[in-house]
Amino acid sequence: MSLLFDKTKDVAKTLLPVVALVLFISFVIVDVETDVIIRFIVGSVLLLIGLTIFLWGVDLAMNPIGEHMSMEVATSKSPIKIAILSFFLGFLITVAEPDLLILGDQVEGASGGTLKSFIIVYMVSIGVGVMVSLGIFRLLRNKRLNMFMAITYGIILVLAILVSQEFLAIAFDASGATTGALTTPFVLALSLGLSNVKGGKNTEENSFGLVGIMSAGPILAVMLLSIITRQKHIQGDAGEYIFQKGVLGPILDAIPQLFIESLLALLPITILFFIFNFTKFKIKKGEMITIIKGLIFTLIGLVIFLTAVNSGFMDMGRILGMEIAKMNKGLLIGLGFALGLIVVLVEPAVHVLGEQIEEVTGGHIPINLIRTTLSIGVGSAIALSMVRIVVPEVKLWYFLLPGFLIAIILSFKSNPVFVGIAYDAGGVASGPMTATFVLAFAQGAATRIDTANVLVDGFGVIAMVAMAPVLSIMILGTIFQRKKVVEHPHDIEDKETVAVAPTNMDDLYHDCLLVIVNRGYAENVVDVARQAGATGATIFHGRGTGDHHTVKLPIINIELQPEKEIVCLITGTDISADVASGLVKDSQLEQEGEIAVYISPTVAMIKNLKFDNNFLAD
């Protein structure tokens, strides 16, 4: 129950600011009907309950399922089996995603029925399946994520020239719709499981990126659909929005439909898992009972969450957008920024991504840092979307194409771990909360601005929200990578690269050498030490080297320490000086590995030792 309590506390912390801001606007700035306000408050309580139960269920069920399925993929020796299984994993988890079904209905209505909902759903799901398959092959073969995504978005940028603004917006919105409250936790667990099974020095960065790769599939699929069908523009007018009346009535009416959609979202991947468990996994009864409980909690939580969002938040978002746009355009942009800062924090997938980042990095990339960066990015994206609604000359591609282009360039300069996190964040930020409340807010504003196109501008909001986190976290990763390490001076007299063994060898038998290097250079240390006579070593992973290396990010003033590897060597006292000198004289370890060596005798204290500036005498 402590896990459930922790989930409730975390969700409450992020939900309360949203509720407070909306109620402040409703009472002070905009005149909103009483039943809408009460329904919003009831919906907020349901959202708290639903999101808490959902995240609890994800921990119990979806994460273990993803890990077991990733084990099956990673241990398969047949490339054909890997390709087929990974495709079906991506396809089945996407084809019944509630957010995608809603988008399909919106596209069908907006196109006057010329683009059917099932065509959009299945084309997008195929795109996801293909990209998940390619992403898994990239991970298993250890190909660089930044190069993979550069090629992928290079193709997208070329195709973007060939499609209209409507299809451009739908393509990027489809990307956001596929990374919903169910799809993202599963793919994150799949990615984490694959990276752990594969292992190696790139385990940490391989834990991220698959959601970002998956998100590119819908963009390519919808653009190719436009090119293949030769349809350039969406025909048809948006129907008049009908506001719901009452408090409990709309909530109760929404439950049956959302229950069916949520059940369909869970069934395909659940059936696939049980088939593999029957034929392959054969997991223990206790774990299976836990997974079944988790699936039930996930279903219940998802139904309550989506009910709260659709019945309590949609009308409120639409009304606020309409009334504020009618009052003041500048205020519309400012409140759009404020809503973006806060709303992204209640996205279920943002919580899941943040927890995985803390788990993989051992807490050295704080979850609050990621959430803050996401908030600023999404807030800016929604504010710019309001600018698009207010100023008709400002087009969607003015932001999307340069934004992704800059992000691709920064991916080659950013810390590798942040690259995967950035592309994943683009998907998790555009989940059900953003796709409902924010979309309703933008569409409400567009109905009050005479020069705005509700269909084009409304669809583009999710696209902007999906792009902003990629760019903002890539900037954060670049700052982290380029921020120079601050080295504190030490009182060391002899600067020569030399280590002198103690003169009295009678009392000493072995020395313990602790060698600290940048991650990825531990094997080099072992090789050099072996050449000098060492016979064995133990490698640990960590961050930083005590108070000798600190990295502080500007403005937000958060300290992050660089990733390090610690190599423990037990050597005879007759060779310890040679081993230490060989290590610090190695040019690659000195320049790239930033090596530091610590020597501690195992019997008596060493006195009068000389070390270079990379040594510390204990």
Query: Binning pLDDT at 50, 70 and 90, where does residue 199 land?
Result: low
Q: Do 526 and 605 share a structural domain?
A: yes
- Cα-Cα-Cα-Cα torsion 345, 349, 354, 359, nearest 10 degrees, comes to 160
Q: What is the pTM of this model?
A: 0.65
Q: Which of 7-21, 187-201, 480-494 has the lowest mean pLDDT?
A: 480-494
Among 319, 318, 241, residue whose Cα is nearest residue 30: 319
pLDDT higher at 555 or 43: 43
Q: Do 544 and 464 share a structural domain?
A: no
pLDDT of residue 201: 62
Angle between helices 183-198 and 210-229 (to 10 degrees): 120
Q: Do 546 and 601 share a structural domain?
A: yes
Q: Do 95 and 43 share a structural domain?
A: yes
Q: Does some domain include residue 443?
A: yes
User: Which residue, of 462, 482, 502, is where some domain finishes?
Assistant: 482
Contact between residue 439 and residue 180 where contact means Cβ atoms under 8 Å apart: no
When pLDDT is averaged across residues 63-90 and rounded to a whole number, the result is 81
Q: Do 82 and 17 share a structural domain?
A: yes
Q: Show the domain range for 263.
A: 10-234+246-482
pLDDT of residue 269: 81
User: Which residue, of 434, 466, 482, is where some domain finishes?
Assistant: 482
- Does 25 have pLDDT greater than 90? no
pLDDT higher at 358 or 223: 223
Phi and psi torsions of 512, nearest 5°: -105, 115
587 vs 614: CA distance, rounded Å = 13
pLDDT of residue 605: 40
Q: Do 456 and 360 share a structural domain?
A: yes
Q: Does some domain include residue 496?
A: no
Contact between residue 595 and residue 516 where contact means Cβ atoms under 8 Å apart: yes
Report the phi/psi class of residue 539: left, alpha or beta, with left for phi > 0 and alpha for psi in -120 to 50: beta
Q: Do 465 and 423 share a structural domain?
A: yes
pLDDT of residue 618: 36
pLDDT of residue 293: 92
Among 579, 581, 567, 576, residue whose Cα is nearest residue 508: 576
pLDDT higher at 569 or 126: 126
* Measured CA distances, 275 to 272, 288, 296, 323, 346 (Å): 5, 13, 18, 52, 34
Q: Does some domain include residue 492?
A: no
Q: Do 429 and 534 share a structural domain?
A: no
- Does 265 have pLDDT greater than 80? no
pLDDT tens digits for range 464-504: 887 888 888 888 778 776 654 443 444 434 434 444 444 44
pLDDT of residue 289: 92
Q: Do 358 and 460 share a structural domain?
A: yes
Q: Which secondary structure element, helix H or strand E, spans residue 445, and what is its range?
A: helix 439-448
556 vs 561: CA distance, rounded Å = 15
Q: Does some domain include residue 218?
A: yes
Average pLDDT of the chain?
A: 76
561 vs 546: CA distance, rounded Å = 9
CATH of the domain at 525: 3.30.70.120
Q: Does some domain include residue 502?
A: no
Q: Mind spelling out the 3-state secondary structure of 197-226? A: HHCCCCHHHHCCCHHHHHHHHHHHHHHHHH
Among 387, 612, 616, 422, residue whose Cα is nearest residue 516: 616
Q: Does some domain include residue 461?
A: yes
Q: Do 119 and 27 share a structural domain?
A: yes
Q: Which of 40-44, 204-208, 417-421 has the lowest mean pLDDT?
A: 204-208
pLDDT tens digits for range 586-597: 888 887 778 888
Q: Does some domain include residue 2?
A: no
Q: Do 543 and 434 share a structural domain?
A: no
Query: Structural domain tally of the chain?
Result: 2
User: Which residue, of 467, 482, 497, is where some domain finishes?
Assistant: 482
- Cα-Cα-Cα-Cα torsion 404, 409, 413, 417, nearest 10 degrees, comes to 30
Phi and psi torsions of 571, nearest 5°: -125, 160
pLDDT of residue 359: 65
pLDDT of residue 179: 73
Q: Mind spelling out the 3-state secondary structure of 325-377? A: HHHCHHHHHHHHHHHHHHHHHHCHHHHHHHHHHHHHCCCCCCHHHHHHHHHHH
Pairing of strands 615-617, 596-601: parallel
Q: Does some domain include residue 34?
A: yes
Q: Do 93 and 196 share a structural domain?
A: yes
pLDDT higher at 532 or 292: 292
- Does 258 have pLDDT greater than 60? yes
* DSSP-assigned beta bridge partners for residue 563: 543
- Cα-Cα-Cα-Cα torsion 393, 394, 400, 402, nearest 10 degrees, comes to 90
pLDDT tens digits for range 104-152: 776 776 666 667 778 888 899 999 999 989 988 888 787 888 888 889 8
pLDDT tens digits for range 347-393: 666 766 677 666 666 566 677 777 787 888 888 888 998 988 888 78
